[in-house]
Structures are given as structure tokens and as C-alpha cells.
């Protein structure tokens, strides 16, 4: 092809805008279902040499053409990324992630190390928000330590799906408790009822081969005093965390804490049963508190020191109640009252797996080395506990309480 003289800047800008406008109908006609294919067409239009990169100038032009589709905070963050690239180029994967409203680790690092400052006012200073917007903003400040993450979450959150996991678990726990309360005719210290341990959901050392009991024990509580505190912590801590991090991640931390709690009891308190959701609750709460401490200067939640103190006092009271009940003379000897070790198993999960999940908002966990280290540690513990349950009880010749 022959060479042509370069047009002036104004002419080039107009021609570039026209190319974008002409391209979009064509892309709409032949765009497959996947949105990445649409962005690939746009990217290739600005990368005729198939180098895998486009200039930040072209990227800014593309952002301008799609500004009506982007929330103001997101547009500001994306422009900050464009300015942060010293080499003046953006690679295709960053382009796809950004235009698909996804963020990679390189995206976060580019923003944090970039030269452009987010010059608009903080999210907390914005006025004229309705009730739902104020709630979303409140959740963002409760859980996220960086202003850039808070703005991104505020613009991205759609309440679809809602925080269904924690609400569903809580409703089921309350429903099972009410059913047991009516059937046993006892709501306070249900665990002292002679028929309590006959329930097929309770973990009992003599029935440890029934694997479902390592998980279903969360639907049985020692009494209304036990259920009440767990439900309050689940709703006040678990629901906001699920709104930010999603049901999959929060559900993973919660279930991992539950399983670790029952397995810890089977290893460290071998003759005791287990009831209550404290393993999962303590996993979430300890992860949240550890995240606040590790990001103390960035967390802007109000009265954070006082609220941390209140949370720790509530957790200590619940743990103290569990310890007292464990060593209180049993109403149905020789089987002791439920163990408190499940609380400690939940805390161990919270300050390992839980912290990694909460510190990596919208980042791929599989790209985090700490994630794989803690997952490996967790799996090693699970395998150890499984073999312990198979062999240790017979080798130690323990005298277990009779089956309920």
C-alpha cells in the first residue's frame, strides 16, 4: 500500500470517532453471545498489526465513546489506569477485563502505582442518595479498606442476586430450633433434654461414621441463648460480607469453618458431641476483624475500635458460655455436654482462608500464593482428621459415651 500524509490531530480525532460509530453496528450484527468477542472486534480495529496492544490514547477515545454505558466512578478509575501506563500501551486482556467490568491484579497495581490521583470527592461526601444507595455505601465502608474499591463496588452492586446464602442458613437454623423447641417443649438449654441428642443432625462421637453430621450439626443449638448470638453475628457480619464478596466466597469460608469445627472436636475433644453454627460464625467474624486490623488506616467504618471491642466481648461471652456448658455436670451421663473446640476451628479458618478472601476483593483467588498455601494446610488437616477418626479411636482405646 502507498503511504499517505498524516492528517492533522483534529481530523484524526474525528476520523477515529467515526470509525467507532461505524464499527458498533457491524459488531452488533455479527457479535456472538460472549461479550469478549465484541470487545475483540473493537480491539482489533485499533490493533491492525495484531500486536496485542493499543495506545492509551485510543483506549481513552474508546472510553469516551462508551461513556454513557459506564458509571462515573468506573470511568474515572479506567481513565486513571490509562494514565498510569508509562509505556503508553494497554494489552488486550486488560482491555477485555476493563470493558467487561472485571479487574485483575495488574489493574489494581496499576491504579495504586499510577500517577493520576482520583480527584473527585470521596464516596462518603456524596449527597442526595436514596435509602438503598446509602445502605450500599454503608456496606462498602464497613467491609472495604480502599476508596477505589468502595467506589467500584458502589457502582457495580445491583442486589442481584441478593445475599441469599446467609439469610437461607439463618432461616433454616431458626426453623429447626423452633421445631425442636415445640417437639421437646423446651427452648432454654435444649441440650439438657434427654431426647436432644437423638436428633440425626447432631454430631455424636459414636456416630462419627455418618459423614453428614460433620455439617448438619449447625442446625441444632444448645438453646435460645446459643442461637440468638449466632444469628445476630451471622446477620450483622455475614450479610454485608456476602453483599460485597458474593455467596460463593462467603459460603466457602462459612462451610470451611463449620467442617473444621467438627473435625477439630473429633481430634481434640473426642468424647464430646457438637451442636451450633459457631464454627462458621467465628470463621466469618474473625476474618472480618483480622481484615480490619490489617487495614486499620484504610477502614473508614464509624466507631471501629468500639465496635471491635463489642464484637470481641460478644464472642468471648459466647465462648465462655460454651466452655462452662462443656464442663458443667451432664444431665445425661456418661455423655458430656457439647464441645467448645468448634469455635477454635472456626477462628483458625477465619484468620487463614477467610483473611485471604476478604483481602482480595474481585481478585482471582487462584492467583494468590497465600490462598494455595492455606488451602493446602486446610486439606492436610482434613485428611489428618479423617485418618484420625478411622484409626485413633481404636488405637487409644477410648471409652466413648453410648449412642443416643
CB atoms within 10 A of CB 98: 23
What is the three-class DSSP state of 210?
Answer: coil
Told to judge if 328 belongs to the known catalytic residues of this protein, a careful annotator would answer no
Contact assessment for residue 285 and residue 237, using Cβ atoms and an 8 Å cutoff:
yes
d(CA 303, CA 164): 28
Which position among 61, 278, 286, 339 bears the catalytic label?
Answer: 278
Catalytic site includes residue 278: yes
Can you count the helices (H) and strands (E) in the chain? 18, 2
> What is residue 8's three-state secondary structure?
coil
Sign of CA dihedral 81, 87, 90, 92: negative
Distance CA 208, CA 159 (A): 40
For residue 301 the three cell numbers come to 467504618
In the numeric block, the cell 442518595 is attached to 129
Task: Report the Cα 77 to chain-centroid distance in Å.
Answer: 23
Q: Give me 129's grid cell.
A: 442518595
Residues ≥6 apart with Cβ < 8 Å to 318 = 226, 229, 230, 278, 343
Q: How far apart are CA 336 and CA 343, in angstroms?
A: 17
Set 73, 204, 288, 343: catalytic member: 343
List active site positions.
278, 343
Amino acid at each position: 500500500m502507498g503511504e499517505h500524509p498524516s492528517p492533522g490531530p483534529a481530523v484524526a480525532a474525528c476520523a477515529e470517532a467515526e470509525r467507532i460509530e461505524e464499527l458498533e453496528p457491524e459488531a452488533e450484527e455479527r457479535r456472538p453471545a460472549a461479550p469478549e468477542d465484541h470487545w475483540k472486534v473493537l480491539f482489533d480495529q485499533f490493533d491492525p498489526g495484531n500486536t496485542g496492544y493499543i495506545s492509551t490514547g485510543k483506549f481513552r477515545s474508546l472510553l469516551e465513546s462508551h461513556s454513557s454505558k459506564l458509571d462515573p466512578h468506573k470511568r474515572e478509575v479506567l481513565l486513571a489506569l490509562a494514565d498510569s501506563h508509562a509505556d503508553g500501551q494497554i494489552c488486550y486482556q486488560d482491555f477485555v477485563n476493563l470493558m467487561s467490568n472485571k479487574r485483575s491484579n495488574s489493574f489494581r497495581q496499576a491504579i495504586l502505582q499510577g500517577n493520576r490521583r482520583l480527584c473527585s470527592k470521596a464516596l462518603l461526601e456524596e449527597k442526595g442518595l436514596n435509602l438503598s444507595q446509602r445502605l450500599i455505601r454503608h456496606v462498602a465502608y464497613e467491609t472495604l479498606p480502599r476508596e477505589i474499591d468502595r467506589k467500584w463496588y458502589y457502582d457495580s452492586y445491583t442486589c442481584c442476586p441478593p445475599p441469599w446464602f446467609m439469610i437461607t442458613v439463618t432461616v433454616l437454623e431458626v426453623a429447626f430450633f423452633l421445631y425442636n423447641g415445640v417437639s421437646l417443649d423446651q427452648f432454654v438449654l435444649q441440650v439438657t433434654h434427654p431426647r436432644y441428642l437423638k436428633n440425626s443432625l447432631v454430631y455424636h462421637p459414636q456416630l462419627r461414621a455418618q459423614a453428614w453430621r460433620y455439617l448438619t450439626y449447625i442446625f441444632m443449638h444448645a438453646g435460645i441463648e446459643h442461637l440468638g448470638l449466632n444469628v445476630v453475628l451471622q446477620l450483622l457480619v455475614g450479610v454485608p460480607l456476602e453483599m460485597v464478596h458474593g455467596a460463593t466466597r462467603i459460603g466457602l469460608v462459612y462451610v470451611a469453618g463449620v467442617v473444621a469445627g467438627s473435625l477439630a472436636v473429633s481430634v481434640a475433644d473426642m468424647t464430646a458431641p457438637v451442636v451450633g453454627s459457631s464454627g462458621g460464625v467465628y470463621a466469618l467474624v474473625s476474618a472480618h476483624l483480622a481484615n480490619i486490623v490489617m487495614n486499620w488506616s484504610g477502614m473508614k467504618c464509624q466507631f471501629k475500635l468500639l465496635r471491635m471491642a463489642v464484637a470481641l466481648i460478644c464472642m468471648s461471652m459466647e465462648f465462655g458460655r460454651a466452655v462452662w456448658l462443656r464442663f458443667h455436670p451432664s444431665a445425661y451421663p456418661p455423655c458430656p455436654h457439647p464441645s467448645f473446640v468448634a469455635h477454635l476451628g472456626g477462628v483458625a479458618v477465619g484468620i487463614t482462608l477467610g483473611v485471604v478472601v476478604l483481602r482480595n476483593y474481585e481478585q482471582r483467588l487462584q492467583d494468590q500464593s497465600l490462598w494455595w498455601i492455606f488451602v493446602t494446610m486446610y486439606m492436610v488437616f482434613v485428611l489428618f482428621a479423617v485418618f484420625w477418626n478411622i484409626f485413633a479411636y481404636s488405637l487409644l482405646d477410648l471409652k466413648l459415651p453410648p449412642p443416643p
